[in-house]
Structure 1
Amino acid sequence: MTIDSGVLAWLLDSDPALRWQVERDLADAPPSTWEATRARVATEGWGADLLAKQDADGQWAGGSFFPAGFFGSPESEQPGQPWVATTWVLKDLREWGLDAGALAGTAEKLAANSRWDYNDLPYWGGEVDVCINSYTLASGAWLGADVSALAEWFPAHRLADGGWNCEAEEGNSTRSSFHSTLNAARGMLAYERITGDTRHREARHGGEEYLLSRRLLYRASTGELVGPFATRFVYPNRHRYSALAALDHFRDVSLLEESPPDPRLADAVDVVRATRQPDGTWLQGAPLPGRTWFDVDVPEGQPSRWLTLIGTRVLDWWDAAH
């Protein structure tokens, strides 16, 4: 798919966190160009703004997953959750391409000062929630923390059907979740890409097969759509599953492993293609409720640069293989 020149110009007129990915993935810019833009994430725009909000102890908002003082506060009674604490900020900065050198010393500070809300566990050891552990695994590898023990947690906690579920550790489910399984696979893939450690690839492939066997969209039991979330796209999607987020992961897998797209992705590709607007953009969905440091995308119903980047590169990857 050839992107419209006007849409490309619109995408390039953006924060460095988004622009460098447009340059690399859509504009065929040479590495010298997009790497220079990527370096600006530490000093300009959203990346610099988040770096400026880091606490002296290495955390953000005084907490690991929730901000300090959240529990028992009026905010805890509101829908959603805050997205301002350490884990969420690290996830954003890593996915925006920030050079880990801009956070030199943070891994050590978090090891010394940050504890999980669950059982006061040490930060880089993770806890019992697979989604939280997946973000921690990826961010730890990125910042140079020793998260090798946490990497072993994932194959040990896979469910019998091949995936993961955040509810399983509490004994509330024995079936995998689309959300949890995708988050686990993404965290494991990031760990592998950063460290070069492929020992857990088989476990990751098992989770990916769970999603592929359901064509990224359907319940195994009834063949019905797993839920409306699968076809509703939003950025930032935080922990939420969608066909678009899953396809972006499988694109990453394909690039790392130099493998072609699995044919079972076709239904999800059709969903993404059908939601593309006539002008070549994708519209923002309903943002997840909860406090943020600042907005990084548009309100619901408006053309989203982030979703347009992701949707376009997914379709380009698929179409190039077919």
Structure 2
Amino acid sequence: MKRFLLMAPLSLALTGCATVTVNYAPSSTMTLSGSEQLGAFKYAPGDTGKVKENQIRNTAIGNIMIDRNVGEYFKQALFDESRFVGIKMGQGPVVHGTINDFLIDDLGYSVDWTLDVTYVVDSVGGGAPCYNQQKVLKKHTAKFANAFGTLNEVVKDNIEEAFKDPAFVSCIQTTHVAAATAPPAPAPVAATTTTATPPPPQPESEAKPTAVASSPAPAADPAPVQQATPVATASTPTVDADLALAQTAANQVGCGAVKANGNSTYTAACGDYSVLISCDGGQCRPEHTIKGNSND
């Protein structure tokens, strides 16, 4: 009879055939900064068929059934506590995980609670998770403890284990991108030496480009320059050479054929007048004009 009375508070509150409505109230006194989005939390005992999706495992007589799936209940509790401590919701990395076990060992004069949850924080952009840790919370209470209050406290304490982990906080405070594996560097390519083939020589007859010098501008009002008298020279001072030189001198002044006018002088007809050409030392030069044509 005594045992029945000790078990009555928990049995009447949580066990029986009816489904119990549970409302979670956040109560953490921690303060955090960061941002997160919540994904699904799987309930492993329900997935494996040990219990129903909305059933918390217990050891005493009767079943503990709540009004929603245990995974949904825990996700809502995490949302409420995260927002309550100052985390921005609906942005940042996705937090999800698995409830490995939720056990109420209520067979006896006391109750032992076990909540085992694996928290996963995804990396922004995909790849390996930024955080993947298991948190196990164990709590011992008396039979006369407030069942609903203790249920909330066990969930809150497990969530705070994640909040206290610097690695978890770091992942929700920074935009963590999984390190991508860099592609292997390409193998070095052996350097090849290329010898330039000189162009074939151009034929000598091909014209080479000639630089064209710009013509200087003519000076204003140039003073008249006296033209030098052309002089014909010869290396051998012979009579025949003098005659040839005299003819060259006559041609240079526009006169005709020359003829001897002595030992060293020659005359050349230049229209209405003639020119006297003097030769000396292998050089011949016009000296002066002679009135009339010497050929007449």
Asked if TM exceeds 0.5, the reply is: no
**CA radius of gyration, larger in:** 2
Q: TM-score, normalised by structure 1?
A: 0.18
Q: TM-score, normalised by structure 2?
A: 0.19
Higher fraction of strand: 2
Higher fraction of helix: 1
Give the number of the structure with larger relative contact order, counting CA–CA contacts within 8 Å between residues 6 or more apart.
Answer: 1
